[in-house]
Structure formats: C-alpha cells, structure tokens
C-alpha cells in the first residue's frame, strides 16, 4: 500500500514536471484582468474592466486618441459647426456613417443601429445605469442608411461622447428588454475581434472577426482575457510567462517590473487625480453636512491653504511613485480644457506654519497646535485595501506633524465610503474631515465640474442626496464659470470657462490635488503595437488600438 | 477522584503531576521557551528597539537586511524587526482576547448543556454540531464585512454595538473571531460536565444545599479546567491564523496598525523586490502558531489522566 | 467487528438514518434564513458600485432600486427568494445578471475537482505515514513525520501557497503559477496536471497533517488493545496484525474525521483558489462578498450548507453501517 502510494505520487510528480507542450503557430495573446466583468454591455455594467474587454469588439461613433483628440470610428467624420455636422443652435447633430461596415455575424451596420441604441437606452424596461444625454434627445432620424440625425431638446455639451458603443439592432431589437440578453455575454460587434467563449471564473476568449473592414491588418489570431484574483498574482503570472499582459497595475508595482528585461511597462498619465477632499461643513450631528454650519477647522481658508503647502508632493511622487507621476495642480491635467498656468502648490512648511499662526492655531505642549483648547486634529479617510493610498496617508501624517497638525487615519471599505444617501454614508451626509480618493473628469469635463463643484449639487435631504459636492463649498464665481462651460456651443468658449473654473478652485481650495494617477500596464516584451492613452470616452483603456497589436518573439 | 475530601487533598498533587508530565514533553517545553521569547520581545520592544514603528523614513525604503536593520526595512523605510514585534503585539492581543471570548462563550454553552442535559443539551449540541460542520471562513468573511460598517439602524442597542465595533477595528476582529470559535470548547466542557455532574462529591454538595450556579462554578468547573486550558491554548493559535487570513483578504485590521496578517498582505506586491517583507511576518505567524500547538499538545498529554503515572 | 446486528438493531438503524435525513430540512431552513438576515446588515448594498459615478444620477439609482425589488420589506424579499429557491430558481446575480444556480454550477465542479483530488492525495500521503509512524513509534521516521505534521498544521495555507509559487514558478520556473490549464492550447492531460500540482500540494498537505496525527494516535490506541496483543501472541505476522486488525479499526473513525474536517478543506480551498486563480466556488464567494452580490452569496452559503449536511449525513450512515457498536439514541 505504501509503495503503491509512493509510486502514484511519483507518477503524479513526473507528469506534472514534464515539459511544456510545443507552442502553436497561431498568435495568441493572453491579458490578465483582476476582475471578472459583470457582463460586456457597458450601458448596464459599471466596471472599468468592461471597457477594457469590450474595446476589441465594440466600436463607438466617435473615439478619442492618445493626444486627447476626437476621431471618427463608425462615423465618417467628427461633426462640428464648421463641417455642418452641428447646427447653429447646437441642438441637431448629423452623423455621416462609415460605409461598408459589417457586424461580426455578417449583418450590415446602418443608421438604424444608431437609432436603436438611443431607443434601448431610454427604454424603461432596460436596467441602464445612466441615461444622461440620451434623455435629452427628442428623436433620431435616419434619412438614409448612412446618415443619422440626432435632435436634442436642449443643448448637451458632451454630445460627442454619446453612442459609445453602438448596439446591434438586428440582435437586440427583437427582445423585450436587454437586461438578460445573450448579447451581454456573447456580444456581436463591429470591432476587429469577436467573443468566442466565456468560461466563468476563468477567461473570455476572442477570435478574429472575419467581417472586420480591415481584417487582413489584424495580426493577433486569438485573444484571451484571463481572470486573475489580484494584481499581485497577475505580476507573478506575467513574470512566470503565463500571461502576456496585465491590466491596470498600480504605481507602486513599477520598480519590480522595471528590472526585468522580459517585461515592458506602459505608463500614461490619466485624467484622474488622487486628492484630498476637505469638508467645509460641520462633521458632527445634528447639523452635519449643512453648509450653513462651517467646519470648526477646515471652514477657514487659511487652514486649507496651510495644509496645501505643508504637503511635500515631490517627496511623495519621487519616493512612493518612483518619480513617474506628475504632482497634481488642477482638475484637468491635460487635453483641450486644461489650465496650464496653474502649477502644483510649492512645499513650504514655513508658510504653512505662518498661515496657521494667523488663523489662531498656536503650538501646544506636544507640538500639536491648539485654539481655544481645541486640538488641530483631523481624521483622514480613504478606502481600505489600497496600499499606495495607505502609504501616502502615513507620509502625510508625518508631514503634517512637522507643521503641528495631527492627522489620524480611519479607513473604510470602498462600498462604505462611496455609499448612498439611503445607506447613510458618511460622504453623502458630510460626516468626515478629509477624504482621500481618486476622481477626475472624462474627456468632456462638464459632468465632473457640475457634479463636484457646483453649489447646486450639495447632497441634502431635499434633493435626495444627489450631487457630488461633498466638500459643501458655495462659491458664486465658480458656479458662474461652470454654467458658462455647459452652455456655450463654441469649444473655445467652453475651454476658457473651464480654465477659469480651475483657477477659482485653486484659490478656494475645496480639493487638494496630490498627484495625477498613472495608468500602468505590464507586458511581456514580445507584445508590440500598443499606444498609451490616458484618454477615453468611457474609461481610458489600453486595448483601444488592439487591432494594431502584434506578438514578435 | 471518589469523594470531596480526596479531591481537595490531592488537588495540589494533581497539578504537580500535570506539570511534571508537561515538562516531560520535550517539544512542549521548546514551544514554551519560544513563546516566552516572543512574548518578551513583543512586550519590551519599545525598550529594545531604537526605531519607531510608524514614522516613515523615505530615504531608506525596502533596504535589505543589514547590520543596522537586521531584517531589512519595509516599503516606507521602517525597520522590519521593530515593526513585526509591534505587529506581534496586536496579533497576540487579538489571539488571546478572541480566545477569551470563545472560551467564555464555549464554557457557558457547554456547562449549561452538560449540566442540565435533556432537551437543552440536545438543542445546544445540535447547533454546536452544525456550527462546527460549517466552513467557518465563509461566516468569518460575512461577519467581518457586516461589522465593517457604521450603524444602519434606529435601534439604540444595535447602534451601540455596531458603532463600537466599527470604530475599533481590533475589537471588531476579536469579536468576530471570538463568537465563531466557541464550538470546540463547548463540546469539551459539555463532556466534562456530563461526566462529573453525577459524581459522588457533586451529589453530596447538592444534598448539602449548594445552589446550581455554585455547584457548576465551584465544584464542577475546576475539574473541567484541564480540557478548557488545552482548548484555550490551541484557540489562540486558531485566532492568530484567522486574523491573518482575514487580513490576507483585506478584511482584518487595517493599516497603519500593523499586524502580522496585514504586513504579509502588504508584502505581496513587493515579494520579488523585497522577499524579506513577506517572509518575516509569515514566519512569525508560523513560529508562534507552531509553538502554541506544541504547548497545547503538551498540555493535552499532561491533563490526560491515563498518562499521569 | 463481526457481530451481526439483530433485526431490532437493523430497524433501529433505519429509523436512525431516516431521522437524520429529516433533521436536514429545518437545519437548511434556519441556515438560509440566518444568512439572508445577515446579508441585510451588509454595508453598501448591490448599488454601491454606481454611487461614485458622476454619470449616474440619484434618480437613476432610485429607479434601479425599485426595479430590482430592493425597496420591498425584508421578509417579503426573503419569502420571494425562498419560494423560488425551492423551485430551483435561485435568483439572478445582481452583477452578472445570470442565474445564481448557473454561476455556482459553473464553479462547483472545479472546486469539487480540486478538493476531491487533494483529499485523495492527502489520504495517499497520510495513511502510510500514519501507520508507519505508529508502528515505528519514536523511530527517526516517526519524528520526522510528526514534526512535518506540526509544520503542516501551523503553516497558514496562504503563506505556504505563496512560498510554493515563489519557489516553483518564479525561481525554478518549473510549474505554472495559476489557472487550470494553459490558455489557447489544446487540452492535454499533462498541461492540466502541471496546473493541478501546486494547488493540490498546498491543500493536501494542510489536511494530510491532520489525518496523519489522527491516524497515528488512533493506531497507537488500537495497537495497545488486548485483542491485538492476543493476535500478536497467537503468532500472526506483523503485517497481518497491522493491516487486518489495527488499521481496519483505526480507519473507521477516520471516516468521521474526514467528514468533520470537510470545513477545513473548503476553507483551505477558498485561499488556495484565491492564490492560484483557480476558478472555483471559494473565489466566487470572495468576489461576490466584496461586490455585495446578495443572491450569489446566499446561494453559495446554501450550497455549502447542503454539501456539509449531506456529507455529515453520509459519514454518519457509513459509520452506522461499518461499526456495530454505535448506539442510536
């Protein structure tokens, strides 16, 4: 019995350790993702990973390239006032569609698909996550197969970002609703690849789309999105050569990959920035979150400015982000609406001390400042389980101590931090001092500015807790520039309005920008052709130009 | 152990025999020495180490082991040895207190079931059996997430409990591990109580008019102490593993408070660049659990009446 | 062994088995309700993921809450769930929108495959090691085995799994670090076994350590029993004594131990699956819990409760059939 057991074990070991089967001639690319997508329908699913996985098959009317410029995909050109695509009042948008495009099942792509996309989104039976923009559309007219005319009831500034992606009418149009449609797991698209298999908990497989307009150009034969439990495991598998690329690493993982010649790193500066969000209203009940009752410490602009210049951003970027990130200065880091005159606030502990002195906070016996017997003690909260944020927090605690401010850390799971008004979340109800997390504008910044910075978007009982103005600041000048940005049809006027809004934010310090987030992707060196893109219509994802990727061993 | 007087007279001798038996168990003694060393280092770390466990030293990040930092430094340049000893404080405290919660609960359940027998016993043990049969980690994860949130109720009692557990992560982990770890103790205590409750000396105490609680606490419990102590010691090891497991999934005690579990989790993404940051806390967990297991088994043998010769 | 139970004893046996079968129903009811009640206390809720998205308005969130039935009273939600559950409709995952039963069904075989093979490997390791260790008590082999058993018991599976990956996948590059097979290649037995090796090694050593310890102790007890000594005195060879008498008697309680330790196996599987990206139920649970996907978590808990209850039941029945000494009270 014992011998038999040993023999079996030995056999098992022998077989297990024997060599890899020879590689096949097909070009197979395996990308690791640490989340399994809920589905592949971005109108229903909320995760960024969906965007990453859907890019190979789903296409938009208009997309955005690595320079932050719009370019036509399923549309033949980007509509503008100049080329007649946008009417003078901005309410009618005419899309000329690309000709000869086919869905991966061979059916032709037409203007009916564009019209259907709008209908599907506003269909009350569909559990669509957001209808914004689409609910302002009055009608989509289809004068011919290659023209779609979208008529808005009122001007919608980010109109170029709609219809991303276009849904296949011939597949989904027959259904009562698309909530459980087979399309959500086995979609039909117009992109270079098509989904061939989804093995739950394991991988999504794609093959070349034979009906793609440039099918001969596509070099990869098979594409796998493999689900891995975490980024750490992803790096382990990448180093072991089990996968060819990992999606969405974090900045702290850069150095361990940099030293390995078999790996290549792909870094790009995203539009999102890590920031501190400072509560202007009193955090304690019963008036928590009411902007009429200012925060006993942070309600004072001088204190907010002092915190801003007590932060050594360079040390954080150099040491914790290996010098790869950009220190944060304003809401929009790059692109057409960025305000390049604004520079990151300089590290100046002496100035911070003076500002605090002026504000009446004097050093106490233990070095922490006091005013009227109250300590300058602030809670800093972020999401649990994010190591880089935890590291930055601990460095901030140390930097604040040097100017006599006491930060203490209390972190909560992201679902608690980002909970709803109904769930009594601290963020929505204003029961916090300082929050640290990442957010940022999309390629069109309007929703971000209006949501986070307009005084009408302070969450209250009256508005059901909607809105993202968590700092609860009210500033008439800022409101004015945000409104201007949403109303003008001229892109130049809009850009100016957002620049002024950024300047105003810089002055009143509701948010303290720490650094621009990097998107970090790791590849095995034989993967070629990817181009970093920090911009995206839905999310900035690496797979935006996957048709051009190749494997060269 | 026939009569009360015999029992009293031989009590000291029994303890002596138990101790002698324990000291014969070589690995148990080894475990005891290791644990003493670990506890000593963990308690006096602020006297021994020149480093602060929390202040970052950005000029010294991820330094490999050297004379200055015998076990290297972590991702914020803090001394690994110092930090793992401070982390040990929390891990050991969680282990001991979670065990206390578990043993208290378990003794209560077991004593009631064993002493009263019948329907009560049947009900309690059915529940215990089921709780034992269920993979605990699934419930542990569930509880850890539930209590990670602020109160969401108007009931003042719920608000009080939730608020306390939400604000004090260490208490939360102790509570969650504790209330899910009582089953083994309950079984053991029930067994002892069943056995002892009908012994002559208990009967005579009853005849002499002693009340039920008094009999349970004064007369039976001391004689059921052996198995409780064994279960308690192994319970500490169990709780330490549970804490690190929860932390490994990111649901335990959160940084900046260091525990062996969250230090290990923290080390995951630098395991190639700085393997010592993973090996040190992992090894501390392993060593502690190993020592406690040896001690527990030594105690089990020592309390086993068949082995006392 | 050997004494045939009387007709009365047999009837008692069947009544016992039937009663054990019936006791399963209330247990399952209680579990499902308890889990459901607990899930209601969870933070965030299934719509938490939408809350941080400026694209999604509060109105949209309220609309989704209503459409998903999340605004109904808790007991109504439970009752609706239970009624459907009994009919095999385990609800839909909030995130993937797929039937829960399908989600679990996709994963369960992988977990059973991993745990089943680990269990077999653990027994293949533990049985000979336990027997040898007991028969050669205090030998070098015994010392090594007991020490290794202690190490196996004291090493958290997430630590040992990590060390194995570093050694075998990164340093030696002998074995893949995760997954069930190499993607994009034809299925091959060898490839599949290579992927199986490390997870099975982690998981089986974890439980083998327990089995070795148990088997050694119970073998030692049996060896010292009178009839073994008698057998030895009768001049039977050591082999016959050990395998025919001692091991068979020690193996019966092992059945129970394997059943009792099933939770350890499932808990170990949760970590093993997480570390080796094994597409099993444990990982599905961790994912669903962090996404607050109520129906999937409920389904998994119910499925595991079912598995545990059934396997304990089977162990009891097997034990009752094997061992004539048991009383059915």
Structure confidence at residue B162 as a pLDDT band (50, 70, 90): confident
HSE of C66 in the Cβ direction (CA atoms, 13 Å)? 9
Name the residue in chain C with its Cα closest to that of B142. Answer: C289
3-state secondary structure of A418: coil
For B219-276, the pLDDT digits (tens) are 778 877 888 888 898 899 989 999 998 888 877 887 778 899 889 888 877 777 788 8
How many CB atoms within 10 Å of residue B19? 11
DSSP string, A401-415: HTTT-EEEE--B-HH
Contact at CB, A423 and C53, closer than 8 angstroms: no
How many CB atoms within 10 Å of residue C310? 12
Judged against a pLDDT cut of 90, whether residue B204 lies above it is answered with: no
- Is A393 or B148 the better-scoring residue by pLDDT? A393
| Contact partners, residue B219, CB within 8 Å, separation at least 6 | B201, B202, B205, B210
Strand partners, A436: A276
Decide if B178 contacts B144 (C-beta within 8 A). no
For A85-134, the pLDDT digits (tens) are 999 888 999 999 999 999 999 999 999 999 999 999 999 888 787 788 89
**What residues in chain A have their Cβ under 8 A from chain B's Cβ atoms?**
230-232, 235, 239, 250, 252-253, 255-256, 259, 315, 319-320, 384-385, 387, 390-391, 393-395, 397-398, 409-413, 416, 423-424, 426
Averaged confidence pLDDT in chain C: 75
- Is A243 or B210 the better-scoring residue by pLDDT? A243
pLDDT at position A237 = 83
User: A80: which 2 tokens?
Assistant: 């503008």
CB pairs under 8 A between B and C: 107
For A145-163, the pLDDT digits (tens) are 999 999 999 999 889 999 9
- Is C113 or B14 the better-scoring residue by pLDDT? C113
Structure confidence at residue A523 as a pLDDT band (50, 70, 90): very high
CB pairs under 8 A between A and C: 201
Burial group, residue A354, by CB count within 10 angstroms (0-12, 13-18, 19+): middle
Averaged confidence pLDDT in chain B: 83
Strands lying side by side in the sheet with A374-375: A362-363, A369-371, A374-375
pLDDT at position A23 = 45
Structure confidence at residue B83 as a pLDDT band (50, 70, 90): very high
The Cα-based distances of A150 to A94, A100, A122, A443 in angstroms read 6, 22, 14, 21
Out of C95, C132, C165, name the one closest to residue A38 (CB).
Answer: C95
Strands (E), A200-318: 203-208, 222-227, 245-249, 263-278
pLDDT at position C45 = 53
Q: Can you tell me which residue has the tokens 């919660």?
A: B101
Judged against a pLDDT cut of 50, whether residue A64 lies above it is answered with: yes
CA-closest candidate to residue B236, choices B42, B36, B99, B107: B99
- Percent of chain B residues topping a pLDDT of 90: 25
Question: How many residues are listed for chain A in this entry?
Answer: 553
pLDDT at position A19 = 43
Contact at CB, B272 and C170, closer than 8 angstroms: yes
pLDDT at position A424 = 74
- Is C266 or A137 the better-scoring residue by pLDDT? A137
Judged against a pLDDT cut of 80, whether residue B202 lies above it is answered with: no
Helix spans in A244-300 (H): 254-258
How many CB atoms within 10 Å of residue A10? 10
Contact at CB, B142 and C289, closer than 8 angstroms: yes
Burial group, residue A273, by CB count within 10 angstroms (0-12, 13-18, 19+): buried
Element (H, E) at A378: strand A377-381
Least confident of A326-340, B284-298, C37-51: C37-51
Q: CA angle A92-A97-A103, nearest 5°? A: 130
- Is C329 or A393 the better-scoring residue by pLDDT? A393
pLDDT at position C95 = 64
Structure confidence at residue A356 as a pLDDT band (50, 70, 90): very high
CB pairs under 8 A between A and B: 67
For B85-101, the pLDDT digits (tens) are 999 999 999 999 999 99
Name the residue in chain B with its Cα closest to that of A383. Answer: B254
Burial group, residue B209, by CB count within 10 angstroms (0-12, 13-18, 19+): exposed
Q: Which residue positions in chain C have pLDDT lower than 70?
A: 1-13, 24, 35, 37-59, 67-70, 74, 81, 91, 94-97, 181-187, 225-245, 290-292, 294, 322-329
| A403/A400 Cα distance (integer angstroms) | 5
CA-closest candidate to residue C169, choices C190, C148, C199, C189: C199
Out of A15, A44, A467, name the one closest to residue C193 (CB).
Answer: A15
C-interface mutation test, from B134, B144, B280, most C Cβ less than 10 A away: B134
| A540/A57 Cα distance (integer angstroms) | 16
Decide if A47 contacts A38 (C-beta within 8 A). yes
| Contact partners, residue C289, CB within 8 Å, separation at least 6 | B141, B142, B145, C297
Averaged confidence pLDDT in chain A: 88
Contact at CB, A463 and C284, closer than 8 angstroms: no
Q: Tell me, what DSSP letter sits at residue A23?
A: P
pLDDT at position A126 = 85
- Percent of chain A residues topping a pLDDT of 90: 55
Query: What CA dihedral angle connects B53, B58, B59 and B63, to 10 degrees?
Result: 60
A-interface mutation test, from B57, B58, B61, B173, most A Cβ less than 10 A away: B58
CA-closest candidate to residue A187, choices A179, A199, A177, A195: A195
Decide if C82 contacts C32 (C-beta within 8 A). yes
CA-closest candidate to residue A520, choices A314, A227, A321, A330: A321
CA-closest candidate to residue C176, choices A237, A11, A223: A237
Out of C51, C131, C191, name the one closest to residue A420 (CB).
Answer: C51
**What ipTM score was computed for the predicted complex, to two decimals?**
0.79
Neighbours of chain C (3+ CB pairs under 8 A): A, B
**What residues in chain B have their Cβ under 8 A from chain A's Cβ atoms?**
54-56, 58, 61, 75-76, 145, 148-150, 152, 167, 250, 254-256, 266, 268-273
Contact at CB, B150 and A395, closer than 8 angstroms: no
pLDDT at position C50 = 60
Query: Phi/psi class of residue C93: alpha, beta or left (left: φ > 0; alpha: ψ in -120 to 50)?
Result: beta
Query: What CA dihedral angle connects A362, A364, A369 and A372, to 10 degrees?
Result: -70
How many CB atoms within 10 Å of residue A222? 18
């Amino acid at each position: 019995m014992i011998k038999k057991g040993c023999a079996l074990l030995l056999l098992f070991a022998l077989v297990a350790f024997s060599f890899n089967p020879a590689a096949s001639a097909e070009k197979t690319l395996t990308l690791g993702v640490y989340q399994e997508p809920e589905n592949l329908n971005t109108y229903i699913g909320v995760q960024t990973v969906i965007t990453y996985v859907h890019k190979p098959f789903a296409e938009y009317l208009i997309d955005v390239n690595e320079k932050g410029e719009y370019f036509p995909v399923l549309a033949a050109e980007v509509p503008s006032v100049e080329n007649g695509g946008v009417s003078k009042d901005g309410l009618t948008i005419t899309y000329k569609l690309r000709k000869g495009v086919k869905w991966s099942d061979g059916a032709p792509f037409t203007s009916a698909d564009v019209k259907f996309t709008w209908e599907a989104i506003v269909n009350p039976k569909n559990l669509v996550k957001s209808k914004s923009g689409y609910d302002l559309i009055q009608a989509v007219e289809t004068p011919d197969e290659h023209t779609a005319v979208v008529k808005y009831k009122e001007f919608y500034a980010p109109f170029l970002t709609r219809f991303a992606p276009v849904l296949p009418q011939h597949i989904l149009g027959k259904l009562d609703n698309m909530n459980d449609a087979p399309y959500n797991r086995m979609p039909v698209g117009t992109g270079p690849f098509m989904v061939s298999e989804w093995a739950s908990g394991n991988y999504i497989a794609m093959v070349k789309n034979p009906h793609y307009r440039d099918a001969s150009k596509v070099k990869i034969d098979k594409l796998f999105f493999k689900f891995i439990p975490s980024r750490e495991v992803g790096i382990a598998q990448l180093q072991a050569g089990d996968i060819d690329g990992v999606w969405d690493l974090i900045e702290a993982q850069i150095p361990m990959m940099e030293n390995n010649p078999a790996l290549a790193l792909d870094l790009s500066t995203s539009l999102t920035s890590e920031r501190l969000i400072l509560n202007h209203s009193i955090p304690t009940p019963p008036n928590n979150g009411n902007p009429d009752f200012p925060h006993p410490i942070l309600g004072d602009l001088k204190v907010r400015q002092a915190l801003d210049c007590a932060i050594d951003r360079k040390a954080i970027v150099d040491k914790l982000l290996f010098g790869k990130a950009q220190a944060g200065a304003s809401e929009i880091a790059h692109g057409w609406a960025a305000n390049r005159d604004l520079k990151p606030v300089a590290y100046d502990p002496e100035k911070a001390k003076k500002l605090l002195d002026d504000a009446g906070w004097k050093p106490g016996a233990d070095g922490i400042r006091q005013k009227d017997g109250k300590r300058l003690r602030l809670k800093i909260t972020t999401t649990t389980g994010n190591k880089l944020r935890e590291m930055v927090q601990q460095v901030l605690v140390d930097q604040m101590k040097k100017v006599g401010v006491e930060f203490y850390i209390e972190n909560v799971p992201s679902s608690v931090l980002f909970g709803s008004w109904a769930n009594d979340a601290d963020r929505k109800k204003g029961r916090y001092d300082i929050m640290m997390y990442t957010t940022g504008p999309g390629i069109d910044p309007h929703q971000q500015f209006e949501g986070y910075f307009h005084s009408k978007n302070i969450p209250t009982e009256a508005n059901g807790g909607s809105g993202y103005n968590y700092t609860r600041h009210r500033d008439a000048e800022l409101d004015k520039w945000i409104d201007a940005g949403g109303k003008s049809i001229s892109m130049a006027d809009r850009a100016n309005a957002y620049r002024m809004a950024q300047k105003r934010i810089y002055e009143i310090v509701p948010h303290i920008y720490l650094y621009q987030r990097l998107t970090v992707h790791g590849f095995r060196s034989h993967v070629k052709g990817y181009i970093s893109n920090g911009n995206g219509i839905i999310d900035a994802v690496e797979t935006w130009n996957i048709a051009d990727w190749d494997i060269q061993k | 152990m026939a009569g009360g007087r015999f029992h009293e007279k031989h009590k000291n001798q029994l303890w002596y025999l138990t101790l002698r038996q324990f000291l014969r168990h070589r690995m148990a003694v080894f475990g005891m020495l290791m644990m003493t060393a670990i506890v000593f280092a963990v308690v006096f770390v602020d006297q021994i180490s020149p480093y602060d466990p929390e202040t970052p030293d950005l000029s010294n990040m991820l330094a490999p082991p050297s004379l200055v930092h015998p076990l290297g430094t972590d991702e914020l340049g803090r001394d690994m040895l110092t930090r793992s000893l401070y982390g040990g404080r929390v891990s050991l405290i969680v282990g001991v207190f979670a065990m206390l919660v578990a043993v208290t609960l378990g003794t209560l359940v077991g004593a009631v079931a064993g002493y009263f027998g019948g329907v009560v016993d049947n009900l309690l043990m059915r529940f215990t059996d089921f709780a034992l049969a269920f993979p605990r980690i699934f419930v542990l994860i569930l509880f850890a997430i539930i209590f990670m949130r602020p109160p969401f109720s108007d009931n003042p009692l719920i608000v009080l409990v939730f608020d306390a557990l939400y604000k004090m992560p260490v208490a939360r982990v102790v509570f969650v591990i504790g209330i899910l770890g009582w089953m083994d103790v309950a079984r053991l205590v029930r067994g002892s109580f069943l056995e002892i409750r009908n012994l002559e000396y208990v009967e005579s105490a009853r005849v002499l008019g002693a009340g039920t609680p008094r009999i349970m606490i004064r007369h039976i419990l001391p004689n059921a102490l052996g198995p409780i102590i064994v279960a308690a010691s192994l319970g500490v090891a169990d709780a330490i593993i549970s804490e690190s497991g929860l932390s490994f999934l990111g649901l335990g005690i959160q940084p900046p408070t260091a525990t062996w579990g969250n230090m290990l989790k923290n080390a995951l993404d630098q395991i190639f660049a700085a393997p010592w940051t993973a090996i040190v806390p992992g090894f501390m967990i392993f060593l502690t659990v190993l020592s406690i297991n040896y001690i527990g088994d030594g105690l089990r043998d020592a309390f086993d009446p068949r082995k006392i010769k | 062994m050997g004494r045939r139970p009387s007709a009365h004893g047999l009837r008692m046996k069947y009544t016992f088995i039937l009663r054990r079968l019936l006791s399963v129903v209330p247990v399952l009811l209680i579990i499902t309700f308890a889990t459901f009640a607990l899930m209601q206390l969870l933070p965030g809720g299934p719509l938490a993921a939408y809350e941080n998205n400026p694209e999604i308005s509060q109105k949209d969130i309220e609309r989704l809450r209503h459409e998903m039935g999340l605004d109904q009273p808790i007991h109504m939600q439970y009752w609706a769930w239970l009624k459907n559950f009994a009919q095999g409709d385990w609800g839909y995952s909030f995130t993937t929108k797929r039937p829960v039963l399908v989600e679990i069904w996709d994963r369960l075989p992988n977990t059973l495959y991993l745990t089943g093979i680990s269990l077999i490997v653990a027994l293949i390791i533990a049985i000979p090691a336990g027997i040898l260790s007991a028969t050669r008590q205090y030998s070098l082999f015994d010392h090594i085995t007991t020490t290794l058993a202690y190490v196996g018991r004291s090493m958290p599976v997430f630590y040992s799994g990590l060390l194995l990956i570093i050694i075998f996948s990164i340093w030696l590059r002998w074995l893949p670090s995760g997954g069930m097979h190499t993607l994009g290649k034809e299925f091959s037995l060898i490839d599949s076994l290579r992927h199986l090796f490390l997870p099975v090694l982690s998981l089986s050593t974890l439980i083998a350590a327990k089995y070795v310890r148990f088997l050694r102790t119970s073998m030692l007890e049996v060896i010292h029993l009178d009839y073994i000594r008698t057998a030895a005195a009768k001049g039977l060879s050591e082999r016959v004594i050990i395998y025919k008498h001692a091991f068979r008697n020690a193996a019966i309680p092992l059945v129970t131990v394997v059943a009792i330790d099933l939770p350890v196996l499932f808990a170990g599987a949760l970590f093993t699956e997480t570390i080796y990206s094994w597409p099993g139920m444990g990982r599905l649970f961790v994912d669903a819990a962090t996404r607050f996907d109520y129906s999937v978590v409920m389904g998994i808990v119910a499925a595991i409760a079912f598995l545990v209850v059934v396997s304990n039941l089977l162990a009891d029945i097997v034990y009752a059939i094997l061992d004539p000494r048991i009383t059915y009270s």
